[in-house]
Amino acid sequence: MTQSSDIKRKVIEKYGLIAKGGSSCCGDGGLEFSMIGEDYKFVKGHVAEADLGLGCGVPTQFANIREGDHVLDLGSGAGNDCFVARSLTGASGRVVGIDFTESMIEKARLNNSKLGFSNVEFVQGDIESMPLTDSMFDVVISNCVLNLVPDKRKAYAEIMRVLKPGAHFCVSDVVFVGELPAKLRESAEMYVGCVAGALARDSYMQIIDETGFSDVIVHKERLIEIPKQILEHYLNQDELADLVASGVGIYSLTVSGIKHKQI
């Protein structure tokens, strides 16, 4: 099994448990840690049953979604960001959520059946190779998901492919500044908790630039405080002291970019 397929298997296992209410985003053995740090409670379109607390931002806040837009949510989970997007597109728009985990798709479809939205649908698929046709969407959003994708270049190339010319993406994701300790990067638990899959901020922004997006804007950047008891689960006291002294930081980043029209 390749490293990529092993990562994907772990993501499916972990998020399958989350969908069934058996685990949280990060941690094990009673160590529970949500990285969201963003309150959806007063966001228009928020659906409490669909909010599993797995995000690290509110990408719809900066996504400039308009009535009638066709919107794609990458890693849609139980559907919360899709339902927020639907409140902005209205009945004349269309919202598609794609997720790698079958049980998440089932949960999202159940939530949507309760809401009765005929223009919201959920598709199971791999973000690195989406079962969607070219130039379908006005806006692509994602919330703390691309850091779970092994090949982020493929993911951003796919975002470029499915966007209409002149359309844009807005993604909230996790990046880091400095060098994360190997134990954090290699841990499966921390990986599916969005930390170990994160790239260095400069490398992340470089991928967006090299994919060909223009007018790239960082709308929000927020330091994520990992609780000491979580870090102590992976690092001894000396390693923890070295981490604090190193100035390494893990950040939530909300960024957008445009696919230019062909001339």
| Closest among 149, 183, 172 to 35, alpha carbons compared | 172
CATH number of the domain encompassing residue 113: 3.40.50.150
What is the C-alpha to C-alpha distance for residues 103 and 100, in angstroms, rounded to an integer? 9
Domain count, the chain: 1
Identify the pLDDT of residue 199. Answer: 86
Amino acid letter, residue 236: N
Q: Which burial class, exposed, middle or buried, applies to 55 when counting CB atoms under 10 A from its CB (0-12, 13-18, 19+)?
A: buried
pTM of the predicted protein model: 0.85
85 is a domain residue: yes
Amino acid letter, residue 233: H
Residue 138 is part of which domain span? 3-258
81 is a domain residue: yes
Confidence of residue 7 (pLDDT cuts 50, 70, 90): low
Q: Does residue 163 surpass a pLDDT of 60?
A: yes
161 is a domain residue: yes
234 is a domain residue: yes
263 is a domain residue: no
End-to-end CA distance of the chain: 44
Q: Give the tens place of pLDDT for each residue, 190-241.
A: 554 556 577 889 999 999 999 999 999 999 998 877 777 777 877 888 888 8
Strands (E), the chain: 70-74, 94-99, 120-124, 137-143, 163-177, 199-200, 214-223, 249-258
Q: Does residue 157 surpass a pLDDT of 50?
A: yes
Identify the pLDDT of residue 256. Answer: 98
User: DSSP 3-state assignment of 150?
Assistant: coil
Q: Give the tens place of pLDDT for each residue, 62-97.
A: 999 999 999 999 999 999 999 999 999 999 999 999
